[in-house]
Amino acid sequence: MKTIKKTSLIVAILIVQIALAQDNELKGKGQIYTPEQLEMLKAQKEAVLQNREEFKASLSDEQLAILENKELNRKERQEALRATFTDAQKDLLAARKAEIKVLKEELRATITDEQRQALRQRRKQMKNRLRNMKERKEQFEERKQNWKERKKKNG
């Protein structure tokens, strides 16, 4: 009888813990934004992808070679590529940038104060999570280095 009570108590505690953990999870985009706002975000993402594809199609062989050059780092590739842009490509980029800016402004106009607060909170939690991961990685690397040094001394 005692084992049944203990088992039931443990199961009840686990259920409560799981329920509380789910309530405390970070809210996803679907829980912060309205369905209309999600559609706006989706349209924004599709526009960015479409713009990227159109721009890549306008690149010459020389420009593609610059993009594929692994000897340059990312920033150097971008600078070299920008130096080769034609006026038509510059105009295309400017037009697409303006289009995306308009879409973002439309979305911002629909966001409520509660949503802004939830987004700030989520951003803050993500920064904390990234900082914690970085600290754990540094601690791990330090322990790994200490272990190697001890191994050298003892080995």
Nearest to 51 by CA among 14, 6, 101, 8: 101
**Gyration radius of the chain's alpha carbons:** 26
Span 67-81, average pLDDT: 91
Residue 25, pLDDT > 70, answer no
Mean confidence (pLDDT) of the chain: 87
- Assess contact for 51 and 99: CB atoms under 8 A: yes
Question: For the whole model, what pTM was predicted?
Answer: 0.58
Q: Write down the pLDDT at residue 21.
A: 63
Residue 33 has pLDDT above 80, yes or no: yes
| Rounded-to-integer distance, Cα 34 and Cα 114, Å | 12
Predicted local distance difference test score (pLDDT) of residue 26: 45
